[in-house]
Structure 1
C-alpha cells in the first residue's frame, strides 16, 4: 500500500475489533501476529537458526512481538525503520493466592499494575483474561469476556464526605473484586474455574498471569459519532496502527530503502525492565540476528544501527476542556488534530530537532497534520519506551502518539479519525 491508498474510518472499525480481542498483552501480541500472518508474515522461533531470505517474519515472546520485513536485495547494512509501542495497560492483576473473601462475599485477590485511575474500575462489569502456564510448560490464553467480577463502591450513606472531599481509595482494602456469595473460600477455586473455561483437565494449570478487564465493548460516541470510547487505547491504539502500517508496507510491492519493523513491548507501564520490555535485549537481539542472517558482520550491524530511526508511538494528552489550566498555555493539542509530536527537554521523551524533521517529513508525505505536545512546567510528564530505546541501542528515536482523554482509565476517549491519521503517517515513515 502506498500513501496514495490511505487508511480511512474502516481502520478505526478494525481498531475496535482489535481492542475487544486484546484484553491482555498476551492477547494483543497474538492478535497482531494473526494480522501479520494474513499479510504473509511467518513466525520464526528464537531457538532456531535464522535464514537471510526476504519477506515478513516475526518473533512472539509472551506479551511482546517484534516483526520485520526484508525487501528483495536488502544488504546486511541496510538500516531499519522501527515503530515502537507497548501492549500493556494499567489494571488489576490476580495474585498468586487468588481466593479470598469476607462476610459472605467471595472475592479475588488482586494487585495494582502500573498507575491506573483506580476509581474507573469501580462499579464496572469485569471479565478476566491472560495466560495460563500448564504443567508441561506450554501456555494457553484464556478470556472470560462476560460479567464475572465487580469492585463495588461504598454507598454514599456510609461515606457522606465523598462528594465534598473526594473519593479516597486504599489500594489494598478497597479494590478487591467480588465474584460470588458464600463463606467457604476454597483454595484453588478460581484456577479450577478457569481450567474449566479453557477446556483443561483439573490440576493442569501450574502458573498464571491474569488480569481483569472491562467487558463493555468499544463504541463510537457523540451526535456525529466523531469520538471513540474504549479500553486499553494506551497503548493498543499504537500497536494496531503499527501492525496495520507494517502489513501495508510489506504488501505494497516495490523496493524499500530500509527494513520496516514493528516492536511492541510488554511492561512499559512498570518500567520496561523485563525480557519482553523495551529495556530488555529483545529488540537488539532480533535486529542483530537479522543482520547476521543476511551474512553481515559487526561492522554491518554498526552501520545499520547508525542509519536506523524509531518512532516511539504512545498516547498523549489532549487538552481537557474542564482542566485546561493543567496543560501548557501555548501548546493545546486537540482531539482530531492529527498525531502528536511529544517533546521534553529533560529527555522524558526522546524527540529532538532532527527527529522532528523526520516526523514532519512523514506527515507531509502522508498528507496528515500533526501537533506538538509539551507538558506544563509545573507538572512533570510521564515517559515512554522512546528514551529507553535511544539509550539502549544508540538509535535515533522520536516520540509521537495520539491525543486522548482519561489516560490510564479503564475506558479512554479519542477522536475517531486520529487512529487512521496515525496509521497513514506510520506508512509514510516506514516507506521512507
Structure 2
C-alpha cells in the first residue's frame, strides 16, 4: 500500500442506510461519519434495492456501487478498488462476500458491524411464541425476561442461525458490538476472544441541556420500523393489554405510534375513539419525540440496544420499557424512566410519570446523565478508529492468534466458492 494513498474503506451493506427509519441505519451513518472525520475514503456497496428514505451518501463524498449476489463481477470490482478495510453490514454479507474479499484482498482488515446479535433476537422470539402459546393471558413476563446467561446460551447454541452468526464473527478481524450484554454473552458463553470484539454503541453528538417543558408536552409516543418484528409485537401488546389500562386512568390521553413501512395490519389498528393513533413515518422523529410526554417501548423480545430509547433520552422524554428494552443501555446507572415486567406494571408506571412532574423531571435528568456518560460520539468515534488502526498494525499476528477464525475462513470460503460457481454456471445455462 502506498504511503501517500488515503485509507480506503469498502462497506458491504445489507441495505442502503436509512437513518430516519431504523436505529441500524442511524448507527451505520455514525460509523461512516467517524471514518470521514479521520479522512478515510469510503465506497458503499449493497445488493439491496434502494428504499424511499435512503441517506444521501453521495453528498458526503461517498461512492455508491450496486453489487449482485453470486456474481463474479464483484471480484473485478474489489480487486480494482483494493480497499484497506472491508466492513460487512451484518453477518449475512460476510457469508455472501467474505470469500471473495479473502480471494482478492487478503490483507484487507475485515470488520463486521453486527447491529445486534440476530441469533439472540431470534431465540428470544421463539421463547416468547412458546410462552404465549402455553400462557396466552399471562400478564407477568419476569421469568421470560430474566434467564441466566447459561439458559440463554442453551436456547441459542443448537440453532442454525447462531452457528452461522458466531462463525462469521470468528472469521472477521474485528466485530462491532452495540451492546455490552452481547459482548459478555459471546465471551463467557461462546468463548469468543475479547480481541475480536469492540463496544460501539449508538452515538450522539452532544447531550442537550434544555428540553421542551413538562407543561408543553402531551400524550404518549411509540416509534420504530414496522418491519422489525420486536416493534410489531410491542404494538400488539400495547393495543391489547397496555393501552386499555392507561386509558382507564387517563381517558383523554392519546398514544401516537410512528413507524416506517407501515403495513395494512398496522393501519388497521388505528382507532381515534380509543386514543390509539397509527401515524406512519415521522418526517422528524426527534420533533415528535420532543412533544410527547412519555415514550412507551414495551419490548418482549429483541437484542442490541434501542434507538427509540436513545432518541427519547436525547429529547428529554422519559420512557417506560422492559428489561429487554433497557438491556445493555444503562451500565448500572439510574434509568431514564421505568423498567417493568408486566402490562399492568408498565401501565401504572406510565400513568405515574405522566402525572407526576417531579418524577418526570428526575427521569429526564437521569437520561441526560446516561447520554453524557455512555453515548457521546466524541468518545466512541475516535476509539473505533484507533481500534481499527491498532488491528491493522498487527494484522498478521492477530490472525495467527485467531486460529479458529482462520480455520473457519478456510473451510467456509472453499465451500462457498464451489457453490457460487455452481450457481453462476446454472444461471448462464438457464438465463431468465
TM class by shorter chain equals under 0.3
Using the size of structure 2 for normalisation, the TM-score is 0.24
* Structure with more relative contact order (C-alpha pairs < 8 Å, separation 6 or more): 1
Using the size of structure 1 for normalisation, the TM-score is 0.24
